[in-house]
Structure 1
Amino acid sequence: MGSTERPTFSSDASRRLYEYVERHGTVERHKLREYVSLSSDEFGSRLEELKADGYLEEDGGTLQIGFEFGAVETYESDDLAFAIRPGRHDDFDGLIETIRDVTDTETYVVAETVAEELLYENAVTRHNAVRSRVFFVATVEGDVVGWTHLELPQVERRRGTAEQTVGVREAYRGRGIGSKLLERGIEWADANGYRKVYNSVPVTNDRALEFLTDRGWDTEAIRRNHYAIDEELVDEVMMAREL
């Protein structure tokens, strides 16, 4: 399955299998078998078809969405080695902790919303006919220390733009991790036919605005009094980068 290809299915049974895994993030094979009313032969056939099409992946009897979007890249900065790779369901707890580490020290409302959506849906990757999202994570010795996230609307008239968030734990800033994450997301969007990425932050988040401006992003719009922060109305700055 291509990264932005909408899933299509040969049967209603295949669709139900895919949608169950997509909603739950990861599913053990035997639990999926219990969910659908199929014979063992048809279940096996439909599942193998979904795997062959790249819609599902199986690892040790656990199924998850097959959504390929890049390999592991490793970097060194001073005395620190870090890797950037596609996010997966195993990163769920680390992602939540990292996003909250960032939003505890600076106002980043969109990132807060992403964390709440992850908790509500209990799934890192989403890919259906309405919306998709992907994550790349930065890891140090296997622990998640940063992320970039792309929200990918599947509605035809909005499919050319992607919303991006990015953040790094405070203890790991100043090592170039945020820049590498930002560019990894932009490269993915560009390679998959997107024409623009945008990032929305409160006008009071000077660090984020400076970070994006220094990397070629432009202010596209300002929404007046868009956020209520500490009982004050605050403007939202919509930053964008054309691809």
Structure 2
Amino acid sequence: MKINKQEFDIRGMSYTIRSAMIQDAKNLSEIRLLIDGETENLDREKGEAFISTSGFEQLIESDTENNRNLFLVAVVHDKIVGFSRCEGHVLSRFSHKVEFGVCVLKDFWGYGIGTYLLKKSISWADSNGIKKITLQVLETNDKAIELYKKHGFEIEGLLKNDKVLSDGKYYNTIIMGRFHK
């Protein structure tokens, strides 16, 4: 599904949040690889589960046509610096919910980009009959957990020893959900 683009200016940083377009595919493939190498808060290490330009083209096309999916990008000076996705389910028993994921280049942290990607996704979900948004977050990502709580998400569960990070230690994944009433 598509949304109307919106302009933001936070602490001198101007950016646009809009729906992903086919012509974004190459940039998305490159940026995802960069983001994966910048933080251990995501599921992937750099290069894992690589999505090519054509893979992103297919994903964008599918998400644009599917009214239960939303693919957003954050753009600064014509360059994508972050993105988020809400992915719905094909099974009827799960048709009321979507799963949310977000990532932003580290150089652009602190400008509200992740927050506005989340807010736009929540607004889209609430206005399109989606009753629940779910997500998973690494237990050590306190900033993200607080952001999600601030926007109505609750902790629903814990996947114990779910991830092994570069320090060789196991970490839990927190499962969160937000119900639209």
TM-score interval (norm. to shorter): 0.7 to 0.9
Aligned to 1:105: 38
Q: Which runs of 5+ in 1 are unaligned?
A: 1-67
Aligned to 2:76: 140
The structure whose Rg is larger is 1
1:138 shift after superposition: 0.7
Q: What amino acid is the match of 2:123? A: E
**Which one of 160, 163, 177 corresponds to residue 240 of structure 1?**
177
Q: How many residues align?
A: 173
Q: TM-score, normalised by structure 1?
A: 0.62
- Take 2:37 and 2:85, find their aligned partners in 1: how far apart are those partners? 18
- Take 2:44 and 2:124, find their aligned partners in 1: how far apart are those partners? 19
- Take 1:232 and 1:132, find their aligned partners in 2: how far apart are those partners? 36
Give 3-state SS (helix, strand or coil) of 1:116's partner. coil
- Take 1:195 and 1:157, find their aligned partners in 2: how far apart are those partners? 12
Identity %: 24
- Take 2:74 and 2:122, find their aligned partners in 1: how far apart are those partners? 15
Using CA pairs under 8 Å that are at least 6 residues apart, name the structure with larger relative contact order, 1 or 2.
2
Residue by residue over 1:90-123, the C-alpha shift from the partner in whole angstroms, topping out at 9 and shown as x without a partner, is 112322333333332322344779x837438342
Aligned to 1:11: none
1:227 shift after superposition: 2.1
Q: Structure 1 stretch 101-110 or stretch 194-203: which is displaced more?
A: 101-110
Aligned to 2:55: 121
Q: Which runs of 5+ in 2 are unaligned?
A: none
Aligned to 2:10: 77
Q: TM-score, normalised by structure 2?
A: 0.81
1:218 shift after superposition: 1.3
Residues 41-190 of structure 1 aligned to structure 2 (within 5 Å): 68-110=1-43, 116=49, 118-119=51-52, 121-122=55-56, 123-125=58-60, 126=62, 133-190=69-126
Q: Is the 8 A contact 2:69 2:98 kept in 1?
A: no
- In structure 2, the CA distance between the partners of 1:117 and 1:105, relative to structure 1 (3 Å rule), is closer
1:242 shift after superposition: 1.4
The structure with the largest helix share of the pair is: 1
- In structure 2, the CA distance between the partners of 1:105 and 1:206, relative to structure 1 (3 Å rule), is farther
- Take 2:73 and 2:6, find their aligned partners in 1: how far apart are those partners? 11
Q: What amino acid is the match of 1:121? A: G
